[in-house]
Structure 1
Amino acid sequence: MRVTIASAVVSATGVPTEVVVVGIGADGWASLPSSSRDLVLGASVLWGGSRHLSLVPSVPGQERVPWPSPLAASLPGLLSEYAGRPVVALASGDPLVSGIATTLLDLGAPVRVVPAVSSVALARARMGWSAESCEVVSLVGRPIERLVLHLAPSRWILVLSSDASTPAAVASLLTSSGWGSSRLTVLGDLGSRSESSTSGVASSWSAESPALNVIAIEVAGNGLASWAPGLPDDAYEHDGQLTKRDLRASALARLMPAPGQLLWDVGAGAGSVGIEWMRAHSTCRTLAIESDPARAARIARNAHALGVPDLHVVEGRAPSALADLEAPDAIFVGGGATREGVLDTCLKVLKPGGRLVVHGVTLETETVLAKAYAKHGGELTRIGVETAAPVGTFTGWAPARAVTQWALSGTPSS
């Protein structure tokens, strides 16, 4: 399987002249200011969800178009269908908070946003939490495991739910990951006459929730909570093909994760380097290239368990599996460096200012890395790690196999 990460952008000529996205609260038409009402009543074309469209009065001659399903795949066609025409679209609260305005902007549509009070603002008000004191995590159409990355003792988190099932799923996830003593408050139908609030502890959560809800989490427990590189080895499911924590920390220090950047984890094994690259920041991305199907499946399981379910696994053998992938900002080669074409391909595709780290444990790999160092420069390091272990009734040092590490930053010299 080959994966290319890219965003779909429609042609600027195949979109409406403008899409005015008007935010509307759960209390509907009554809460809209006159300026927003005028936009809705004066629109010749009105888009929105069926619920949103039902909240506004009918207008003779107005064309009303419910959002198509599936929404993401159908939006480019909808934009093209109304090319050259002005459109008004309805959205919940602030359309730029996990909303349709963001999606339309990503597609290249000309968008003007008229926001209402967001569910996030209402939730903070109900909880008495300042914007600086809490974090917002959207699970709308996203894997629930994304939440794991943000969990730490005493943190306050607002979760934007997908539907009524999200609170129970969040409670289960918190419990299974060591945060079962966290307190949950499910705020339903915020801003409406039917607004509700239900609280409880994650480990004993059994309450039913409304379809529209925001979850406030007061995190408590003893789960894994670190963004630093070098998680314990037993945090990973593996078959021995694992970059151990001290070596992992050394590699990531040289790979230098940065927001929005992409890593290739070549010969990924258990996926630990790529996973911890993504744990460094919620916008970091990884393509994990692994030829063994069992290990590829294991990488995906590890990524979900450690809070980065959006990691992409490319099942195949380098260098052929690297063809047509998005150019990376950094590359880690944990296996396969002696295979012809692997290092050459990595050096060729690396973006300007990119970083490359390669590990080797055999004499053959060490020879390859020594030649690469002599040709391109960088940093060549031999790392030996010893850990205390029983020696009879005493304690001695047990050495692990030494690893040769070649690290290159910036454009390689010829």
Structure 2
Amino acid sequence: MRISMKNKLPVMFLIFWITTTAVLAGAPVQPGDRIAIVGNTFADQLRIHGYLETLLLQYTADKPVSIRNLGWGGDMLTARDRPTNFPSEEETLTAHRTDVIIACFGLGESFAGEERIAAFKSDLQAFIASHAGKKYNGKSEVRLVLVSPIAYEDLGDITPAKEKRNRELAAYTRAMGEVASDAHVPFVDLYTPSLYLMNDPTGPNLTTNGIHLNRYGYWAMGKSFFDQLTVSNQMHGHEPWRLAIDAEAATASARGVKISEVETSDTAVIFMVTETSTPSLPPPTDQPLPPQMQFNRDTLRVERLKPGMYQLAVDDQRVASATAEVWAAGVPIDSSPAHHAAEKLRAAINDKNLQFTYSWKALNQVHIVGERRTSPSGKELPREVIESSELANQRDSTLHRAIELKARRWRISRIEK
């Protein structure tokens, strides 16, 4: 069940809003930054999906960022309990030499209702003050970024009080923006773009239960998150690949790649594609996507093919098939060798995050303060914590090597249906 399309924001307004918000916020993430993510379940689950981190790493490849996710399911500004005998948050921020803290709060706090807005703002101010003047990197004051909660998705009977919850979430988002503005702290509003996507009847649900994003939700929101963190930086922002071929004239145009050596015949079009930017991450769904999400996919358009069915192969690997008519309109390209490499990078990022999790979270408290603390596994835990942290550092240092742009041979061949 979806909210009516009559509530949908105009596309151009959304694009303007995303750009303006990030520019006003100062777009704090810079190449080479050492970043820590703190906050609630939304923050915690970023580490197992990896879409935001992959985007940031792809577009700082020459001077890569380094990210540690300290998110904890259920965290709120004033409720952040931690297990005993593990490194504290401040110790971890210092060990990572943190330049930037991205703080995701507001969802848990919003359940207190609009009457607790003033208290929430006071807690946010205290959070900002707690990091004021801290030099976790040993040289400069840490920079903060505040991130709003997402909207509440309409999933029918399992998501009651939808209008009330979104009023509250909108109010807490506004409050967070006000505190950020007063403190001159960058602010990322994920409430507005998530509500926009939830209002569109096209595409999969974004959440599992109205408040927690699923894999598709993290893919969809990762792009908005990335744009707001980087749009006014000197970094090259990500734009999807756009390839266009005229099969009769043997001419081509492109964005994100360079096309050369175009050869055409009655049954095939062959050309070289030199990758000048990394590919877009494939959507984790086969369902139709909303127009703005479809626009973010890499696309190849081939005009004036003779009627028939055609298959695209990249370096002899099958990628996509469609009729000449569909190719003329444009076909999403999500499974080329470059796209497989991007997914491999995301998997490596998720593995690095898992190793860090072992050094940061107690997965079984009984080994720390319970009956197994004197067992062989309990006695080994301190050493394993240190080793897991070292493994995370080792994996982190090699992630940028996974980004390799190549020249590849693309071939569109006529096939039998």
Q: TM over 0.5: same fold? A: no
More strand by percentage? 1
Greater relative contact order (CA < 8 Å, ≥ 6 in sequence):
2
Bigger share in helix = 2
Larger radius of gyration: 1
TM-score by length of 1: 0.24
The alignment's TM-score, normalised by the length of structure 2, stands at: 0.24
